[in-house]
Structure 1
Amino acid sequence: MKDLLIRSATEADFNAMWDIFHTHVAEGETYAFEPGISREEGYDYWFAPRASTFVAVQTLAPHDRRGRERVLGMCKLQPNQVGRGAHVANASYMVSPYAQGVGIGHMLGEHSIGEARRLGYLAMQFNYVVSTNEVAIHLWKRLGFAIVGTLPKAYRHRRLGYVDAYVMYRLLDDPARWPLPEPAPEEDD
């Protein structure tokens, strides 16, 4: 897609992000949020304190100095756990229904892997990939993720009822190159 870039999200992007988020949540097929989630809760999700949030934008008029853009998708990275699990990133992604099938999800996925490495994460984990979301599962496998666990009937799909959800994982670097953990403090006798 022409004139597409991925950049850090700002508050000014949230109206467009909310439209994408609200559409996906209302479909009830890929995210666990209830359709009645408030705009404020949606904002808090995408702009959580420990999150790095990005948008894929298309410049509407590349020669126009006003720089008008259209948000086509978004992703956020954050630690999957606190403390001793914070070296593993977690990520969430959404692409506008009007921009699906043109590679935006793939671009966001590649970008987030690079950003996760840049931010010092050693691995990435998706905690809850709905098993019927075949497009996402195929994309994550192409980007090196593997299904490492199945949560039986963990997702209440709007049309299909209870379906499985997957945990997907990938290393971002060879564990042999990971920094050594801090040694345990010595105990006094």
Structure 2
Amino acid sequence: MRHGEVFNPERVLYGRLPGFKLSDLGRQMAEAAAADLVDRARPVVRVVASPLQRTQESAAPIMAAFGLPINLDERLIEPANRFEGKRMRGPGGALRDPRNWPSLVNPARPSWGEPFRSISTRMIAAIDDAFHSVDDGDVVLVSHQLPIWMVHRSLAGERLAHDPRKRRCDLSSITTLTLRGNVPAEVAYSSPAAALLVPANDVGAV
């Protein structure tokens, strides 16, 4: 599951910076995701979140709904990024500053942050451990847009380099995986908070 909308009035790329919490709308999104799991009678037996505030706050309604603690896993965290704390577009945006251009030379790696392959490797390792951490039932992992999208592209056999504008990973969306043999496979995608996305601010993702 991806976290909900973040309170980000300056519209900066927040990355791993501390203090970025869910907005009021983001909390509604997290509630919608938890309600979706309850309505579908998903047998949730464990909840794991990245260490960042916005994912733990997004996991809280699931914790409450199923009476579970929140476990933390560093491998689910947002990738590091050289543009954290900066506005990317518009007047004064980082993309217009020639001093930042050397960080943009290789979008296929990418040159501005953690390599796509590194993100995919740590995420799939966390997923594999989650599968084997319970005897039965669902484990909900609460993470971030790019890490979740790297899992999707890896499991689909697609190139990890991509156009960020074309990611299918809405705020508070749920990407469902299962094990086929010993290999994770994606089986479903849903956006329980779809009705709340129109007014949402989703410009801070890496």
Q: TM-score scaled to structure 1, two decimals?
A: 0.32
Where is the strand percentage greater, Structure 1 or Structure 2? Answer: 1
Q: TM-score scaled to structure 2, two decimals?
A: 0.30
Where is the helix percentage greater, Structure 1 or Structure 2? Answer: 2
Structure ID, larger Rg: 1
